[in-house]
Amino acid sequence: MLRPDARPDRRALTAFAWLWVGLPLAYGLYELVRKATQLFTG
């Protein structure tokens, strides 16, 4: 049984929230790196 002063564990929510914004950002960064390498290969 939970103690009355027990606080809910929000680690899963925090991980989900960071993934929600992190995955699109990682996609954007991947595309950026692909383009930026043209400076050295183009």
Partner 1 sequence: MTTPPLAPPGWSRWLVPPAALSVHLSIGQAYAWSVFKPPLESALGLSGTQSALPFQLGIVMLGLSAAFGGTLVERNGPRWAMTVALCCFSSGFLLAALGAVTEQYWLIVFGYGFVGGIGLGIGYISPVSTLIKWFPDRPGMATGIAIMGFGGGALIASPWSSQMLASFGTDSGGIALAFLVHGVTYAVFMTLGVLLVRVPAGAVAEAGERGASAGERGAVPAGPQVSARQALRTPQFWLLWLVLCMNVTAGIGILEKAAPMITDFFADTPTPVSVPAAAGFVALLSAANMAGRLGWSSTSDLIGRKNVYRLYLGVGALMYLLIAQFGDASKPLFICCALVILSFYGGGFATVPAYLKDLFGTYEVGAIHGRLLTAWSTAGVLGPLIVNHVADSQEAAGKSGPGLYGLSFTVMIGLLLVGFAANELIRPVHARHHHAPAGAGPAPVPAPGKEPDAAPRRKA
Binding track over 1-40 against partner 1, x by CB under 8 A: ------xx-x--xx--xx-xx--xx-xxx-xxx-xxxxxx
Reported as half-sphere exposure (CB side, CA atoms, 13 A), residue 20 has a value of 6
Q: Is 28 helix (H, G, I), strand (E, B) or coil?
A: helix
CA distance 37 to 42: 8
Judged by beta carbon, residue 1 or residue 20, the one nearer partner 1 is: 20
Beta strands in the chain (DSSP E): none
42 binds partner 1 (CB under 8 A): yes
Note the residues at the interface with partner 1 (CB under 8 A): 7-8, 10, 13-14, 17-18, 20-21, 24-25, 27-29, 31-33, 35-42
